Amino acid sequence: MSELTLNNGVTIPQLGLGVFQVPPEDTQRIVEDALAAGYRHIDTAAGYRNEAGVGAAIAASGIAREEIFVTTKLRNGEQGRAQEAFQNSRKALGLDYVDLYLIHWPVPSQGVYVQAWKEMERLYDNKQIRAVGVSNFLSDHIDTLLEAAEITPAVNQIELHPSYQQAELAAKCRSLGIAVEAYSPLGQGGDLNGNAVTAAAQAHDATTAQVVLAWHLAAGNIVIPKSVDPSRIRENFAATSLKLTDDELASITALESGSRIGSDPAVASFTQF
């Protein structure tokens, strides 16, 4: 499994399992399946209500804690009490430390994300978090954060898949040393049918999901595909050994359509995440 080095020297497996919309009661089993398949990186969030299942799977796996990279996220409604929210997540996970802690959404209408970041910097200083980052931050949110920040975010986790690439934002992140983490990397399954994707799948005797994931990996994105299906979990992991040609990569990049699936971070203000 290839690893990327974040801007503070911490390494992260480039492909992990996302557990958004994995029911809490199924999470332990699914994460155990993923760990058995070789995954060493799990992406959860307080808002997914399944941190306890992630932690239970890690405990049951017998795999050394330091071999597994765990991300969780600060819920929007808790940005004003980040320290307390973090401790609740850490306890739900049953871990002494979290590898990556993200501000889930900027919620600019709330005006609290800079305050939350300062609290997260203290958690980082106290070694309770190995890396701090953001999610759904657009260019102006990054600029505002950096004006006040002592620490540059290690990661920006954003919606990114062939039909919605946010190329300008991704390039800005990379130029600042912020790693780009692609959420909904398969377009929630909607990006698996393009001609360029199916042609590459046929050429390599691979699946369309593997082709899309290989495209991400070639671009240097961190990817966290979600599946509740053990065979798809294994299939997605195997994408790490698929190498596409430059022409195939370019034809998939040409699938950009400019349509997002998720909410617009400029205005999103829900509190469940």
Ligand X SMILES: NC(=O)c1ccc[n+]([C@@H]2O[C@H](COP(=O)([O-])OP(=O)(O)OC[C@H]3O[C@@H](n4cnc5c(N)ncnc54)[C@H](OP(=O)(O)O)[C@@H]3O)[C@@H](O)[C@H]2O)c1
Contact 240, 14 (CB under 8 A): yes
User: Which residue, 18 or 124, is less far from ligand X as judged by CB?
Assistant: 18
Task: Tell me if 19 contacts ligand X by CB under 6 A.
Answer: yes
**Short-list 238, 70, 261, 236, CA closest to 163:** 261
β-partners of residue 223 are 15, 182
Question: CB 94: neighbour CB atoms within 10 A?
Answer: 13
Shortest distance in whole angstroms from residue 104 CB to ligand X:
6
Segment contacting ligand X by CB under 6 A, of 124-132, 165-173, 221-229, 249-257: 221-229
Can you read off the two tokens belonging to residue 271?
Answer: 């509190």
Active-site hit among 39, 48, 164, 183: 48
**Which of 157, 221, 240, 251: binder of ligand X (CB under 6 A)?**
157
Task: Tell me if 224 contacts ligand X by CB under 6 A.
Answer: yes
Shortest distance in whole angstroms from residue 2 CB to ligand X:
19
CA distance 170 to 96: 32
**Residues 168, 19, 73: CA angle, nearest 5 degrees:** 65
Task: Tell me if 99 contacts ligand X by CB under 6 A.
Answer: no
**Which of 136, 156, 166, 251: binder of ligand X (CB under 6 A)?**
136
User: Which residue, 89 or 207, is less far from ligand X as judged by CB?
Assistant: 207
User: Which residue, 92 or 209, is less far from ligand X as judged by CB?
Assistant: 209
Contact 54, 26 (CB under 8 A): no
Task: Tell me if 236 contacts ligand X by CB under 6 A.
Answer: yes
Task: Tell me if 69 contacts ligand X by CB under 6 A.
Answer: no
List, as one string, the DSSP characters of 99-149.
Answer: EEEEES---TTT--HHHHHHHHHHHHHTTSEEEEEEES--HHHHHHHHHH-
What is the footprint of ligand X within residues 28-57 (CB under 6 A)?
43
**Short-list 194, 192, 190, 191, CA closest to 207:** 192
Question: CB 36: neighbour CB atoms within 10 A?
Answer: 14
User: Which residue, 151 or 222, is less far from ligand X as judged by CB?
Assistant: 222
Task: Tell me if 154 contacts ligand X by CB under 6 A.
Answer: no
Can you read off the two tokens belonging to residue 237?
Answer: 């992991």
**Short-list 61, 2, 5, 1, CA closest to 28:** 61
Shortest distance in whole angstroms from residue 75 CB to ligand X:
11
Contact 139, 175 (CB under 8 A): no
Task: Tell me if 232 contacts ligand X by CB under 6 A.
Answer: yes
Task: Tell me if 226 contacts ligand X by CB under 6 A.
Answer: yes
Binding-site size for ligand X (CB under 6 A) equals 28
**Which of 50, 76, 135, 251: binder of ligand X (CB under 6 A)?**
135
Task: Tell me if 24 contacts ligand X by CB under 6 A.
Answer: no
48 in active site:
yes
Task: Tell me if 188 contacts ligand X by CB under 6 A.
Answer: yes
Question: Which residues contact ligand X by CB under 6 A?
Answer: 18-20, 43, 104, 135-136, 157, 183-189, 192, 207, 209, 224-229, 232, 235-236, 262
Q: Which residues are catalytic?
A: 48
